[in-house]
Structure 1
């Protein structure tokens, strides 16, 4: 009796799998063309998200870090009499790079 239930369950799962699975065929059998077209559409969306979300968020984080580091360097200057330029300079260079990166990064990647 137990084997009969297992066989019925296995056949039901096999039938359900056969009904739910469909073949994905490219138009005219051109799989490479279908993949390229999908990538072109996805690349446009990726580019839009990166330009409108990722780079502005990165710019904001770097700007906040730069001003915090600059303020910390100023307070160290008032306390010790020596201004440390390294931290603020590195953050400023990163901020400038991330501000101008969207202008040329897509040419490098090829999108």
Structure 2
């Protein structure tokens, strides 16, 4: 299943049919037990674990509701503990839209 690295605006979460382990990076079998893999598209909700700001903008480490941790760009005002929603932004000169986290609207 294609994801944002293939130009599709989505994050694909993998899981093991045998042991239930979940992860984000594609693999042919479970990294924990070697079992069969199932994939699903993330709903995009999560909570910020950490953020950092550098020369190229802000990045957030986010625990998605599907049980995996991912990195994405974000608004520099986000703080740990903030509920966020995954979107995708394409910036000038980038070939694909990249994951971007925004504060969940209340």
Normalising by structure 1, report the TM-score: 0.16
Rg larger for: 1
Structure whose residues are more often helix by fraction = 1
Structure whose residues are more often strand by fraction = 2
Normalising by structure 2, report the TM-score: 0.16
